[in-house]
Structure 1
Amino acid sequence: MTIKKVFLLFFSLVFSIGFSQEIALLKYSGGGDWYANPTSLPNLAKFCNQNINTKISTKIPSVEVGSPDLLSYPFVHMTGHGNVVFSDNDIINLRNYLTSGGFLHIDDNYGMDQYIRKEIKKIFPDNPMVELPSSHPIFQKPFVFSGGLPKIHEHDNKKPQAFAVIVEGRIVLIYTVETDLGDGWENPEVHNNPADVRTKALKMGANLIHYVFNN
Structure 2
Amino acid sequence: MWHRTVFLFVFTLLLSFSGGAQEIAVLKYKGGGDWYANPTALPNLIRFCNRTIRTAINDKPQTVEVASPALYQYPYIHMTGHGNVFFSDEEALNLRTYLMAGGFLHIDDNYGMEPYLRKELKKVFPGKELEELGAEHPIFSQRFQFPDGLPKIHEHDGKRPQAFGIFHEDRMMLLFTFESDLGDGWEDPEVHNDPEEVRQKALQMGANIIQYAFKN
Give runs of aligned pairs for residues 146-165 of structure 1, distance below 5 A: 146-165=147-166
Give runs of aligned pairs for residues 1-215 of structure 1, distance below 5 A: 2-19=4-21, 21-215=22-216
Query: What is the aligned-residue RMSD (CA, Å)?
Result: 1.0
Question: In the TM superposition, what is the alpha-carbon distance from 1:193 to its structure 2 partner?
Answer: 0.3
Q: For 1:135, give the aligned amino acid.
A: E
Q: Distance in 1 between matches of 2:162 and 2:71?
A: 26
Query: Deviations 1:14-73 (Å, cap 9, x if unpaired)?
Result: 133322x21100000000000000000000000000000000111111100110000010
Question: In the TM superposition, what is the alpha-carbon distance from 1:214 to its structure 2 partner?
Answer: 1.2
Question: In the TM superposition, what is the alpha-carbon distance from 1:2 to its structure 2 partner?
Answer: 4.3
Question: In the TM superposition, what is the alpha-carbon distance from 1:179 to its structure 2 partner?
Answer: 0.1
Query: Deviations 1:88-124 (Å, cap 9, x if unpaired)?
Result: 1110110111001111000000010110011111101
Q: Distance in 1 between matches of 2:169 and 2:5?
A: 18
Query: Deviations 1:156-176 (Å, cap 9, x if unpaired)?
Result: 110000000001221110000
**Does the Cα contact within 8 Å between 1:127 and 1:167 map onto a contact in 2?**
no
Q: Secondary structure at the match of 1:31?
A: coil
Q: Which runs of 4+ in 1 moved over 2 A?
A: 1-8, 15-19
Gaps of 5+ in 2: none
**Does the Cα contact within 8 Å between 1:134 and 1:145 map onto a contact in 2?**
yes
TM-score by length of 1: 0.97
Query: Deviations 1:106-158 (Å, cap 9, x if unpaired)?
Result: 00000101100111111011111100100111001110001000000001110
TM-score by length of 2: 0.96
Q: For 2:12, give the aligned amino acid.
A: F
Q: Distance in 2 between matches of 1:180 and 1:203?
A: 13
Q: Secondary structure at the match of 2:129?
A: coil
Name the stretch that deviates more: 29-38 or 163-172. Answer: 163-172
Q: For 2:10, give the aligned amino acid.
A: L
